[in-house]
Homo-oligomer: A and B are copies of this chain.
Amino acid sequence: MNEISEATIHRLSVYLRFLQRIHVSGIQSISSVELAHRLNVKSSQIRKDLSYFGDFGQKGVGYNVEMLIQSLESILNLKQKIAVCLVGAGHLGQALCNYNLYQNDNIVIEAVFDSNKDKIGMKINDKCVQSINELHNTVRKEKIKMGIICVPHTSAQEVADLLIMSGVHHILNFAPTTLKVPEHVVVREMDFTAELHSLAFFLR
Instruction: Enumerate chain A interface residues (CB-CB to B < 8 A).
Output: 6, 9-10, 12-14, 16-18, 38-40, 75-78, 82, 84, 90-92, 94-96, 98-99, 102-103, 105, 107, 145-146, 152, 170-172, 176-178, 180, 186, 188, 190-204
**Identity of the chain B residue whose Cβ is nearest the Cβ of A180 in the assembled complex:** B40
Q: Which residues of B contact A198 (CB under 8 A)?
A: 6, 9-10, 13, 188
Known contacts: A92-B95, A95-B92, A178-B38. The answer to whether A195 contacts B200 by CB under 8 A is no
Q: Which residues of B contact A196 (CB under 8 A)?
A: 84, 107, 146, 172
Contact A194 B82 (CB under 8 A): no
Q: List 24 A-B contacts (CB under 8 A).
A: A6-B198, A9-B198, A10-B191, A10-B195, A10-B197, A12-B201, A14-B178, A14-B191, A17-B176, A76-B201, A77-B203, A78-B197, A91-B94, A94-B95, A103-B193, A107-B196, A146-B199, A146-B200, A170-B199, A170-B203, A171-B199, A172-B199, A186-B199, A188-B198
Other-chain contact of A16, B14, B95, B188, B197 (Cβ < 8 Å): B197
Other-chain contact of A96, B12, B84, B192 (Cβ < 8 Å): B192
Copies in the complex: 2
**Identity of the chain B residue whose Cβ is nearest the Cβ of A7 in the assembled complex:** B198
Q: Which residues of B contact A103 (CB under 8 A)?
A: 193
Q: Which residues of B contact A17 (CB under 8 A)?
A: 176-177, 193-194
